[in-house]
């Protein structure tokens, strides 16, 4: 006999476990299935432990520049093993937190590989081979994604790494090649550069962090080069040969010439592959595009009773999008008529040095969409708090509809911008215009004052520059 529930959630990442909690709050008898660690990749091998690594690198960076703050710090060194140990400890603590939340909300947890076996049916195979048969009127697929390999050089965990290998290195790279300059690639490039490695970044497109506003990409490339990185855009890696001491990489530059360089290690950060294989989707006829499950605005698939959220669905592939989708899907299942997801209001954050954050349309995308725009830009050097912090590099850029004053997008680079972006995200969600933002009082002295100044700048009213 199958264990029967109102809802089964397949996958316990930031989308899955949040969906399970919301379902429990709404009185649904809920089960969650996880094959590895509660909390999924984000909590155990992604968002959280990488931020712990980056925090260690940030502090190490500041210690090396102690004299800039009138301080003395001598014989500074980094212990990569201790840094990794701290990161894993942070992940373990949060994994235990999710375990507690499952118990608190009376959610039944099944550890093992889950597979859809029919309408409203799912089997779970545990590590010991024991099979549990589950049934529910509704199932949410939240199986996430994994790193994409290079077709000609699969990650081996020794010399060629994915993000997962890069979080628990057996040794500190001396000369590191990072392939791909999206958020994951740039964050690891920043971490290892701050920790003392010689870093080269290769990006196939014509600029780093290509999904960001062009002005942000330009500023970041200059900042990274100033920090000592080698940045190669419009370039690609044709071949990787692993040797006893490292990796030989054949890199084709934007001029078409191929050069061979040697590196101690390589990180491959060229995208993700959705975990849609071997979970029973094909037999049920669940529609996918390029491997990702197709859903409607309430996360429902083309098959009744099956929903999908997070990285297994369409982009953007962000933890906070997955969590929000989890709530939307559950509320739809419970008949609560939730709002539809609007991807234009989902912020993106990259925790490199300097940080990047954005929401909405870039200036170029806004113009491509037919908007006449007003654009404001305010630099960190014009902000008293930034100068006091010793963080005067960066800017905040805002894009408005010239006709209506609607905030179309905001783009930031500099210290702590990942904490600032939510102000604009709330503004976009509330459909704010420049008038409300201009009339909002921002506290002094704070970095947030630059948000106000950027809005003022779009309308020729900037005060401090």
Given a contact cutoff of 8 angstroms between Cβ atoms, the answer to whether 386 and 379 are in contact is no
Residue 2 pLDDT = 78
My answer on whether 9 and 123 are in the same domain is yes
Percent of the chain beyond pLDDT 70?
100
CATH code of the domain covering residue 334: 3.50.50.60
DSSP one-letter code for 367: H
Whether residue 15 is contained in a domain is answered as yes
Determine the pLDDT at residue 244: 86
Share of the chain above pLDDT 90, in %: 97
Q: What is the pLDDT of residue 217?
A: 98
Q: Residue 161 contacts by C-beta under 8 Å, 6 or more apart in sequence?
A: 155, 169, 265, 266, 267, 268
Q: Which domain-ending residue is among 270, 291, 313?
A: 270
**Is residue 71 exposed (0-12), middle (13-18) or buried (19+ Cβ within 10 Å)?**
exposed
Residues 6+ apart with CB under 8 A from 10: 16, 33, 114, 116, 122, 139, 140, 141, 142, 143, 279
- Please classify residue 70 by burial: count the beta carbons closer than 10 Å to its beta carbon, then call 0-12 exposed, 13-18 middle and 19+ buried: exposed
The phi, psi pair for 252, rounded to 5°, reads: -95, 120
Shared-domain flag, residues 237 and 283: no
Is there a single domain that holds both residue 10 and residue 142? yes
- Interval 15-50: pLDDT, tens: 999 999 999 999 999 999 999 999 998 889 989 999
Query: pLDDT tens digits for 249-276?
Result: 999 999 999 999 999 999 999 999 999 9
Is 80 exceeded by the pLDDT of residue 393? yes
Query: What's the average model confidence in pLDDT over 189-211?
Result: 97
C-alpha–C-alpha distance, residues 319 and 14, integer Å: 6
Judged against a pLDDT cut of 80, whether residue 206 lies above it is answered with: yes
Q: Are 68 and 209 in a shared domain?
A: no
**Residue 87's pLDDT is what?**
97
Residues 194 and 335 in one domain: no
Catalytic residue among 411, 444, 452, 464: 444
Decide if 464 is catalytic. Answer: no
The answer as to whether 153 is a domain residue is no
Task: Give residue-wise pLDDT tens across range 137-149.
Answer: 999 999 999 999 9
In a shared domain, residues 11 and 138: yes
**In terms of domains, do 232 and 287 share one?**
no
Token pair listed for 137: 């009127």
Residue 154 within any structural domain of the chain: no
Binned at pLDDT 50, 70 and 90, residue 208 comes out as very high
Statement: residue 1 has pLDDT above 80? no
DSSP summary character for residue 343? G
Asked which of 246, 270, 294 is the last residue of a domain, the reply is 270
Please tell me the distance from the alpha carbon of residue 57 to that of residue 186, in angstroms, as a whole number: 14
Average pLDDT of the residues in 211-224: 98
Two structure tokens written together for 355: 């940080």
> Residue 385 maps to which CATH number?
3.30.390.30
For residue 10, is pLDDT > 90? yes
Q: What is the pLDDT of residues 149-187, one digit of tens each?
A: 999 999 999 999 999 999 999 899 999 999 999 999 999
Mean pLDDT value of segment 130-136: 97
* In a domain? residue 319: yes
**Do 138 and 15 reside in the same domain of the chain?**
yes
Q: How many CA atoms lie within 13 A of 281 on its CB side?
A: 26
The domain boundary residue, chosen from 343, 374, 393? 343
**151 part of a folded domain:** no
Same domain, 383 and 292: no
Residue 254, domain extent: 160-270
Tell me, yes or no, whether 53 and 170 share the same domain: no
């Amino acid at each position: 006999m199958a264990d029967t529930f109102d809802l089964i959630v397949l996958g316990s990442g930031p989308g899955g476990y949040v969906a399970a909690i919301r379902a429990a709050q709404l009185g649904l008898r809920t089960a969650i299935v996880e094959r590895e660690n509660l909390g999924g990749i984000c909590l155990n091998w992604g968002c959280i432990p990488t931020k712990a690594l980056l925090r260690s690198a940030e502090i190490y960076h500041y210690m090396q520049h102690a004299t800039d703050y009138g301080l003395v710090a001598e014989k500074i060194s980094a212990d990569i093993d201790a840094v990794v140990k701290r990161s894993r400890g942070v992940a373990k603590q949060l994994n235990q937190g999710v375990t507690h939340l499952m118990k608190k909300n009376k959610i039944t947890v099944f550890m093992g590989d889950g597979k859809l076996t029919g309408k409203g049916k799912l089997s779970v195979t545990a590590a010991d081979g024991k099979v549990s048969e589950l049934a529910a009127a509704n199932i949410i697929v939240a199986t996430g994604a994994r790193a994409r390999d290079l077709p000609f050089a699969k990650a081996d965990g020794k010399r060629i790494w994915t993000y997962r290998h890069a979080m628990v290195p057996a040794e500190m790279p001396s000369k590191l090649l990072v392939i791909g300059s999206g958020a994951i690639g740039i964050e690891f490039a920043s971490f290892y550069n701050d920790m003392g490695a010689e870093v080269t970044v290769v990006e196939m497109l014509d600029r780093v962090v290509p999904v960001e506003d062009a002005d942000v990409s330009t500023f970041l490339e200059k900042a990274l080069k100033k920090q000592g990185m080698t940045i190669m855009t419009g370039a690609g890696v044709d071949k990787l040969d692993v040797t006893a001491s490292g990796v030989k990489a054949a890199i084709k530059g934007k001029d078409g010439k191929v050069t061979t360089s040697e590196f101690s290690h390589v990180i491959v950060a060229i995208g993700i592959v959705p975990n849609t294989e071997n979970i029973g989707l094909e037999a049920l006829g669940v529609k996918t595009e390029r491997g990702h499950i197709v859903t409607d605005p309430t996360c429902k698939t083309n098959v009744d009773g099956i929903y999908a959220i997070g990285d297994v669905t369409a982009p953007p592939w962000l933890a906070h999008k997955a969590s929000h989708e989890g709530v939307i899907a559950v509320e739809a299942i419970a008949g609560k008529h939730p709002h539809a997801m609007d991807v234009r209001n989902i912020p993106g954050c990259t925790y490199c040095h300097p940080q990047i954050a954005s929401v909405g349309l870039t200036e170029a995308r806004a113009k491509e969409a037919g908007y006449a725009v007003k654009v404001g830009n305010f630099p960190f050097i014009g902000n008293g708090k930034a100068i006091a912090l010793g963080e005067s590099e960066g800017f905040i850029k805002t894009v408005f509809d010239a006709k209506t004053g609607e905030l179309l997008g905001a783009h930031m680079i500099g210290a702590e911008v990942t904490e600032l972006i939510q102000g604009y995200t709330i503004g976009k969600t509330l459909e704010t215009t420049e008038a409300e933002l201009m009339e909002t009082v921002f506290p002094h002295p704070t970095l947030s004052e630059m948000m106000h100044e950027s809005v003022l700048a779009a309308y020729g009213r900037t005060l401090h520059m």
